[in-house]
Amino acid sequence: YFVNPRQWDGDQILVEGDDVHHMTRVMRMRPGDRVVCCDGEGTDLLAVLEDVKGDRVLLRVLERTPSRGEPAVAVTVAQALPKGDKWEWVLQKGTELGAASFLPVLSDRSVVKLDGKKADKKRERWQKIIKEAAEQSHRGCVPPVQPVVDWDGLMQAFSVCDRVIFAYEKGGVPLNQALADGPFQSLMIVVGPEGGFTSEEAEQARTAGALPVSLGPRILRSETAPLALLSCILYSHGE
Site of interaction with ligand SAM (CB under 6 A): 167-169, 191-192, 194, 196-197, 214-216, 218-222, 225
Nearest residue to ligand SAM by CB is 192
Nearest by Cα to 225 from 192, 184, 195, 197 = 192
- CA-wise closest residue to 209 among 154, 145, 159: 159
Torsion 231-182-145-40 (CA) sign:
positive
> What is d(CA 26, CA 17) in angstroms, rounded to the nearest whole number?
14
Report the residue number, 47 or 190, with the smaller CB distance to ligand SAM. 190
**Shorter beta-carbon distance to ligand SAM: residue 142 or 205:** 205
User: What's the CA angle centered on 128, arms 122 and 130, to 5 degrees?
Assistant: 105
One-letter identity of residue 52? V
- In the complex, the smallest distance separating the C-beta of residue 104 from ligand SAM, rounded to whole angstroms, is 14
Closest distance of CB 142 from ligand SAM, Å: 26
Minimal distance, residue 40 CB to ligand SAM, in Å: 31
Compute the C-alpha angle 75/124/143, nearest 5°. Answer: 20
> Which residue's CB is nearer to ligand SAM, number 7 or number 214?
214
- The nearest distance, CB 143 to ligand SAM, in angstroms, is 20
* Closest to ligand SAM by CB, 39 or 169: 169
